[in-house]
């Protein structure tokens, strides 16, 4: 049996010391993904630092109306939080679209952002995978890749990031707050996950030993509406083929004062559709205009052999979601 | 004997229900003989080839690892009739996932770590796992599964098709599917004084005992196989599977009891699957919808080591009258795992194709789909000319239509729109043969007033134990709670498997005979000896006498679906199945089986598919996160989904009067859903499952 050292940390400083920034160290929160990967031998930590006793399990409202969500707030608690449900329905809906009730009771806010891809080759030790074992190649490129990326991928890796929550947070301009060897810092959720490039083994911009302490969810403008819609192969307990989080604030004349769109299932990270956002800001959201903006956004897509369908699906899904937000 | 009102047919609760929900019921891996070891298999990681060498040093060095079994270090066994059981016998690797080693350790964790540490070196050969319609290795076998002739021809089907005024010519395809019972395949084996005892998760332990006797060269009376409780099988535990051979082998090799529970991820390659089927159906009809010609060709794959041919063109020999008919099976051997039985092998994929084509014919002729089927309902079995013992498909269609509310249906497709959503309804017929096998049973009247019924039946979650108690109580004229039922042990009178929807008919016949004989002997209230009075039954002669009748169960499935034209998502809003399956013996467990079959059919229609990896071999989706069995959210809650049946009295079956209900619930469901999706959208979907990508492509006309 593979053995490892288990440390239960009382605070962030102790956790950081125990972790030490070493390759073989992992933080353990809900464990819903990490423990599975350990069973499969994909993750083989020599040190597990249990951070579940850290005081990071509350949602606090800041003076400007932003919500500071502790990294250890459980997915089910966050989805049910009254302020989240009222002001950020997309976040609540995204959480409830993910996993199962049992998993949401265990999974944490920070852990959700740090879950690994569900690419079947990443999870199978007998297969090449640059993300799991750099330099071995990408099996998905020629293998089975219907679920894989059409945007932001590289020759080294075509995996998607599986989180629903991250997509909704990206559309809400949320920020990840961290503490680490270099001190505290703030990273926009939309820039938290890396595109694979030549280093697919690095999912995020976190430095070794750096720990997520909270996610800051800024207050939306008055009158903002948001929603999350996920398309998958069955009605529950499946990862997104494509998902979209959208947030819209309209002026009195109906034109978009602010529009934010993020896609899931398309890329190695939540894909903020900034080009489409720019084209639509200040405009009335007509079907033609929305379609054109989304087509422009998705023109950069480079589908693989068997996932071309994602591009049209993403466009039609986002169009329906955006137009839905324009109607009372 | 006491006079009671028979409980046969009523919804008697499961006898072991409390044991199951409280955890008292023990499954194969939960038996813990002293000194038990755990095993973990090592699957091949090449698509095809052979083992050159196995380096077990790193595994053996791990704490707790006891041994690593390979073809090189285990005592030879006799080859089994089923090649999939010849594991660790030679170096051949017929497909990815074939077991090439087995690690045995003191703990489950050590066994798993050991398996990850075994290094196997292979010689590989080029592989091919892709079934195509024009594959150059395809051939027509002699037989398809079930002993059906691969080819049956009546008249001149192609000529009649060419001459027919109305023609449907369509191709359908069904992907590989996996049984994935909740309990994985597991066995606990121990050898004591030359006697092998195995607790196995099996659909029939009599056959497991026979296979182990052959493989290990033992007399059957030196082997005991129990299957007291089984967490589902759906055909994948119908015959012995490699895990039970490996557990027995490891126990003999180490001299200690061994438990092997196959990891979920190893099931797809190790325990059989429903092979993919590529169908072509051609129907010729006159303008009134009367069929002139029926042609069904089903192409499937098999492995390189075993020919298993999904008999998907067989139901077309049973369903509809036509003067001309051609039904043909073709198969391609590939570097894939051996396919096997999965709930309604043949009927489930075959009826998807045939009943989809019938829906297309209804549209072409302007007939109501129910009426088209009624019009073509034959008096005798089309293929054999034999009379049906009973049929009642028309009654199922009519009564099902009434309960589903079919009469109000607007036949026009694509007109029920609510925003992006279109809704529609569909119907499909179902059929499944009445199968029965020889069985023995005993019934004993005990001095205290209780009765004991013994038969090696298996309860795979269906309620068999309960139903056999009802049958016995009915034949004895005794209250059910005075009847003890012993099943699930190969030391009991031998019995056939729980499969082919034949268990209750086969076991029930023998139980009924034994109990009826016993009741006759008890008629004069004789003094009972201390060990009780026992009557035996053996139905071999009666069963093998066969029947001059064509005997099949029939049914009708109805579905209402909603199709999101933006996203391609299809949801079943309502589903109803009405069945003619002979006498229904337990209303509660029968409803569960019908509904369970329908749920599985909805999965086949909408969510379930497995992909053979063209680059690396093997199945890509190997856990329940990636292989999408339907979840609760995919299934409407009763009464939006419901099953019903007609009271069918068929005197040509068996003394119990049942036709079998385990499989027919799945048979017409996928076609009903697909036909409803067409009614919703006006577009034909001919490739399962109806996932968003395929639905959107079909809606866009890009098929």
What pLDDT was estimated at residue B1? 42
Beta bridge partners of A8: A50
What distance in Å separates the CA atoms of residue B631 and residue A235, rounded to the nearest whole number? 7
pLDDT in tens, B263-312: 999 999 999 999 999 999 999 999 999 999 999 999 999 999 999 999 99
- B628 with A238: Cβ contact below 8 A: yes
Q: Which of B569, B628, B633 sits opposite A231 (nearest CB)?
A: B569
User: Quick one: angle between helices B669-681 and B587-606, nearest 10?
Assistant: 50
Q: Cβ contacts (< 8 Å) between B625 and chain A: which residues?
A: 118, 237-239
Task: Decide if pLDDT at A142 tops 90.
Answer: yes
* Residue of B49, B604, B614, B692 for testing the chain A interface, max A β-carbons within 10 Å: B692
pLDDT in tens, B500-544: 999 999 999 999 999 999 999 999 899 999 999 999 999 999 999
| Helix H or strand E segment including B598 | helix B587-606
Q: Cβ contacts (< 8 Å) between A39 and chain B: which residues?
A: 112
Q: Which of B116, B567, B628 sits opposite A41 (nearest CB)?
A: B116
What is the architecture of the domain spanning B31-126+182-232+237-270? 2-Layer Sandwich (3.30)
Smallest CA–CA distance from B694 into chain A, residue: A309
Q: DSSP E strands: which ranges in chain A?
A: 5-8, 25-28, 47-50, 59-61, 67-70, 175-180, 183-188, 211-217, 225-231, 242-250, 256-264, 271-272
Share of chain A above pLDDT 70, in %: 99
Average pLDDT over all residues of chain B: 97
Q: Which of B566, B611, B630 sits opposite A144 (nearest CB)?
A: B611
Q: Is the ipTM of this complex over 0.95?
A: yes
Average pLDDT over all residues of chain A: 97
pLDDT in tens, B665-677: 999 999 999 999 9
The DSSP line for A189-241 is: GGGTBPP-TT-TT--BSPPTT-EEEEEEEPPPPTT-EEEEEEE-SSSSSS--S
Smallest CA–CA distance from A242 into chain B, residue: B567
Q: Which of A120, A144, A320 sits opposite B566 (nearest CB)?
A: A320
What distance in Å separates the CA atoms of residue B668 and residue B431, rounded to the nearest whole number? 8
Chain A nearest CA to B33, separation (Å): 22
Q: pLDDT class for A327, splitting at 50, 70, 90? A: confident
Q: Which of B107, B633, B692 sits opposite A241 (nearest CB)?
A: B692
Helix-then-strand count for chain A, H and E: 11, 12
Q: Is B645 helix (H, G, I), strand (E, B) or coil?
A: strand
What pLDDT was estimated at residue B219? 98
Q: How many CB pairs under 8 A join A and B?
A: 86
Contact A163, A224 (CB under 8 A): no
Task: Decide if pLDDT at A21 tops 50.
Answer: yes
Chain A nearest CA to B689, separation (Å): 9
Chain A nearest CA to B615, separation (Å): 5
What distance in Å separates the CA atoms of residue B577 and residue A261, rounded to the nearest whole number? 44
Mean pLDDT to the nearest integer, A167-179: 98
Q: Is A1 on the interface with B (CB under 8 A)?
A: yes
Task: Decide if pLDDT at B179 tops 70.
Answer: yes
Smallest CA–CA distance from B105 into chain A, residue: A1
Mean pLDDT to the nearest integer, A111-124: 97
What distance in Å separates the CA atoms of residue B444 and residue B438, rounded to the nearest whole number? 20
Mean pLDDT to the nearest integer, B557-583: 98
Residue A87 gets which letter from DSSP? Answer: H
Q: pLDDT class for B703, splitting at 50, 70, 90? A: low
What is the architecture of the domain spanning B17-25+436-544? 2-Layer Sandwich (3.30)
**CB-based burial label for B448 (10 Å; 0-12, 13-18, 19+):** exposed
What pLDDT was estimated at residue B3? 45
Q: Which of B62, B110, B696 sits opposite A309 (nearest CB)?
A: B696
Strands B324-333 and B151-154: antiparallel
What pLDDT was estimated at residue A181? 87
What distance in Å separates the CA atoms of residue B686 and residue B605, rounded to the nearest whole number? 11
Q: Which of B313, B206, B189 minimizes the C-alpha distance to B261?
A: B189
Smallest CA–CA distance from A316 into chain B, residue: B566
- Tokens in use for B687? 């490739």
Q: pLDDT class for A1, splitting at 50, 70, 90? A: low
Domain with CATH 3.30.365.10 in chain B: 17-25+436-544, 31-126+182-232+237-270, 143-177+273-434+551-699
Q: Is A6 on the interface with B (CB under 8 A)?
A: no
- B568 with A231: Cβ contact below 8 A: yes
Class of the domain covering B143-177+273-434+551-699: alpha beta
What distance in Å separates the CA atoms of residue B64 and residue B104, rounded to the nearest whole number? 9
What distance in Å separates the CA atoms of residue B634 and residue B675, rounded to the nearest whole number? 18
What pLDDT was estimated at residue B258? 99
Q: Cβ contacts (< 8 Å) between A290 and chain B: which residues?
A: none
Q: Which of B535, B543, B532 minimizes the C-alpha distance to B507?
A: B543
Q: Is A235 on the interface with B (CB under 8 A)?
A: yes
Q: pLDDT class for A2, splitting at 50, 70, 90? A: confident
Smallest CA–CA distance from A238 into chain B, residue: B625
Residue B184 gets which letter from DSSP? Answer: P
- B113 with A2: Cβ contact below 8 A: yes
Strands B277-285 and B291-302: antiparallel
From residue B132, how far is each of B96, B123, B137, B333, B401 by CA, in Å? 20, 27, 10, 12, 38
| Residues on chain B bordering chain A, Cβ-to-Cβ distance under 8 angstroms | 45, 62-64, 107, 109-110, 112-113, 116, 420, 566-569, 571, 606-607, 611, 613-616, 620-622, 625-626, 628, 630-634, 689, 691-693, 696-697, 700
Mean pLDDT to the nearest integer, A96-113: 97
Instruction: Tell me the HSE value of B257 on the side-chain side, using a 13 A CA sphere.
Output: 18
Active site positions of B, annotated: 663
Share of chain A above pLDDT 90, in %: 98
Contact A314, A299 (CB under 8 A): no
Q: Which of A41, A126, A232 sits opposite B45 (nearest CB)?
A: A126
- B62 with A319: Cβ contact below 8 A: no
What pLDDT was estimated at residue B502? 95
Contacts of B185 (CB under 8 A, 6+ apart): B201, B236, B237, B241, B243, B244, B261, B262, B267, B270, B271
Task: Decide if pLDDT at A328 tops 90.
Answer: no
Instruction: Tell me the HSE value of B620 on the side-chain side, using a 13 A CA sphere.
Output: 26
Chain B nearest CA to A11, separation (Å): 31
- B420 with A39: Cβ contact below 8 A: no
Q: Cβ contacts (< 8 Å) between B700 and chain A: which residues?
A: 312
pLDDT in tens, B6-40: 889 999 999 999 999 999 999 999 999 999 999 99
Q: Cβ contacts (< 8 Å) between A312 and chain B: which residues?
A: 696, 700
Contact B575, B445 (CB under 8 A): no
What pLDDT was estimated at residue B2? 43
What distance in Å separates the CA atoms of residue B382 and residue B380, rounded to the nearest whole number? 6
* Residue of B614, B616, B623, B702 for testing the chain A interface, max A β-carbons within 10 Å: B616
Q: Cβ contacts (< 8 Å) between B112 and chain A: which residues?
A: 39
What distance in Å separates the CA atoms of residue A137 and residue A147, rounded to the nearest whole number? 18
What distance in Å separates the CA atoms of residue B135 and residue B333, rounded to the nearest whole number? 10
Domains of chain A: 5-50 (3.30.43.10), 225-326 (3.30.390.50)
């Amino acid at each position: 049996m593979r053995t490892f050292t288990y440390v239960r940390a009382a605070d962030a400083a102790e956790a950081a010391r125990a972790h030490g920034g070493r390759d073989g160290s992992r933080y353990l929160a809900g464990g819903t993904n990490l423990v599975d990967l350990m069973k499969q031998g994909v993750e083989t930590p020599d040190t597990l630092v249990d951070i579940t006793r850290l005081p990071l399990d509350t949602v606090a409202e800041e003076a400007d109306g932003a919500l500071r969500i502790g990294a250890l707030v459980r997915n089910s608690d966050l989805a049910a939080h009254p302020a989240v449900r009222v002001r950020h329905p997309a976040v609540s809906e995204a959480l409830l679209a993910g996993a199962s009730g049992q998993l949401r009771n265990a999974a944490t806010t920070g852990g959700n952002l740090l879950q690994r891809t569900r690419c079947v080759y990443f999870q199978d030790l007998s297969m090449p995978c640059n993300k799991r074992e750099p330099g071995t190649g990408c099996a998905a490129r020629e293998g089975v890749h219907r679920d894989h990326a059409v945007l932001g991928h590289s020759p080294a890796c075509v995996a998607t990031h599986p989180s629903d929550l991250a997509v909704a947070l990206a559309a809400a301009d949320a920020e990840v707050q961290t503490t680490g060897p270099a001190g505290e810092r703030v990273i926009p959720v939309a820039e938290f996950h890396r595109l694979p490039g030549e280093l697919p083994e690095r999912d995020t911009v976190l430095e070794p030993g750096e720990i997520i302490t909270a996610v800051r969810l800024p207050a939306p403008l008055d009158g903002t509406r948001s929603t999350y819609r996920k398309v998958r192969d069955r009605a529950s307990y499946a990862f997104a083929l494509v998902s979209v989080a959208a947030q819209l604030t309209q002026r009195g004349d109906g034109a978009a004062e602010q529009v934010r769109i993020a896609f899931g299932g398309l890329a190695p990270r939540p894909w903020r559709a900034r080009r489409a956002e720019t084209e639509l800001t200040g405009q009335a959201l007509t079907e033609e205009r929305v379609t054109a903006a989304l087509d422009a956004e998705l023109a950069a897509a480079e589908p693989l052999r068997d996932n071309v369908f994602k591009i049209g699906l993403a466009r039609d899904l986002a169009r329906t979601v955006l137009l839905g937000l324009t109607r009372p | 004997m006491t006079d009671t009102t028979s409980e046969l047919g009523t919804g008697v609760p499961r006898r072991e229900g409390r044991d199951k929900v409280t955890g008292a019921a023990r499954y194969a891996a939960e038996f813990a003989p002293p000194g038990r070891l755990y095993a973990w298999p090592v699957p091949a990681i090449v698509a095809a080839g052979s083992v050159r060498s196995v380096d077990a040093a790193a595994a053996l060095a791990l704490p707790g690892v006891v041994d690593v079994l390979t073809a090189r270090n285990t005592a030879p066994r006799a080859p089994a009739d089923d090649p999939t059981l010849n594991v660790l016998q030679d170096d051949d690797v017929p497909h990815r996932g074939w077991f090439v080693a087995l690690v045995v350790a003191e703990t489950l964790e050590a066994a798993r770590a050991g398996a990850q540490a075994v290094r196997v070196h292979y010689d590989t050969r080029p592989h091919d796992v892709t079934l195509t319609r024009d594959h150059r290795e395809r051939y027509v076998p002699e037989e398809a599964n079930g002993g059906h002739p691969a080819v049956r021809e009546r008249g001149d089907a192609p000529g009649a098709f060419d001459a027919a005024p109305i023609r449907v010519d369509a191709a359908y395809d069904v992907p590989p599917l996996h049984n994935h019972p909740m309990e994985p395949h597991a066995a606990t084996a121990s050898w004591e004084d030359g006697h092998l005892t195995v607790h196995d998760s099996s659909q029939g332990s009599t056959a497991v005992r026979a296979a182990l006797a052959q493989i290990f060269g033992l007399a059957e009376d030196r082997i005991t196989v129990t299957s007291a409780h089984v967490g589902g099988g759906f055909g994948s535990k119908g015959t012995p599977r490699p895990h039970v051979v490996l557990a027995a082998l490891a126990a003999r090799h180490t001299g200690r009891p061994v438990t092997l529970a196959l990891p979920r991820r190893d099931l797809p390659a190790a325990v059989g699957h429903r092979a993919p089927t590529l169908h072509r159906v051609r129907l010729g009809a006159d303008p009134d919808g009367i069929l002139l010609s029926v042609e069904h060709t089903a192409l499937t794959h098999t492995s390189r080591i075993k020919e298993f041919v999904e008999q998907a063109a067989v139901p077309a020999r049973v369903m509809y009258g036509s003067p001309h008919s051609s039904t043909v099976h073709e198969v391609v051997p590939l570097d894939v795992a051996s396919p096997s039985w999965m709930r309604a092998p043949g009927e489930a994929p075959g009826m998807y194709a045939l009943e989809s084509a019938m829906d297309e014919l209804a549209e072409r002729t302007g007939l109501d789909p129910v009426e088209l089927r009624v019009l073509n309902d034959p008096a005798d079995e089309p293929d054999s000319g034999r009379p049906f013992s009973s049929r009642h498909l028309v009654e199922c269609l009519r009564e099902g239509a009434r309960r589903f509310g079919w009469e109000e249906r607007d036949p026009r497709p694509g007109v029920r729109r609510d925003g992006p959503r279109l809704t529609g309804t569909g119907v499909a017929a179902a059929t499944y043969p009445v199968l029965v096998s020889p069985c023995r049973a005993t019934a004993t009247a005990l001095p205290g007033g209780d009765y004991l019924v013994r038969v090696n039946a298996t309860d795979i979650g269906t309620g068999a134990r309960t139903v056999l108690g009802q049958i016995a109580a009915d034949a004895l004229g005794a209250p059910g709670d005075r009847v003890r039922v012993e099943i699930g042990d190969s030391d009991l009178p031998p019995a056939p498997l729980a499969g082919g929807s034949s268990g209750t008919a086969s076991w029930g016949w023998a139980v009924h005979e034994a109990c009826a004989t016993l009741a006759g002997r008890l008629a004069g209230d004789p003094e009972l000896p201390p060990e009780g009075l026992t009557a035996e039954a053996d139905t071999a002669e009666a069963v093998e006498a066969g029947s001059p009748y064509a005997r099949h169960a029939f049914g009708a499935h109805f579905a209402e679906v909603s199709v999101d034209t933006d996203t391609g998502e299809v949801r079943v809003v309502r589903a109803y199945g009405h069945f003619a399956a002979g006498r229904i013996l337990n209303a509660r467990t029968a409803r569960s089986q019908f509904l369970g079959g329908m749920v599985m059919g909805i999965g086949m229609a909408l969510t379930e598919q497995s992909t053979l990896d063209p680059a690396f071999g093997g199945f890509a989706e190997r856990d329940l996160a990636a292989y999408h069995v339907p979840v609760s959210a995919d299934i409407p809650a009763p009464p939006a989904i419901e099953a019903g049946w007609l009271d069918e009295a068929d005197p040509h079956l068996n003394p119990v009067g049942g036709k079998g209900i385990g499989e027919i619930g799945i048979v017409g469901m996928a076609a009903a859903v697909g036909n409803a999706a067409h009614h919703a959208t006006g577009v034909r979907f001919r490739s399962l499952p109806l996932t968003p990508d395929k639905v959107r492509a079909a809606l866009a006309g890009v098929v």
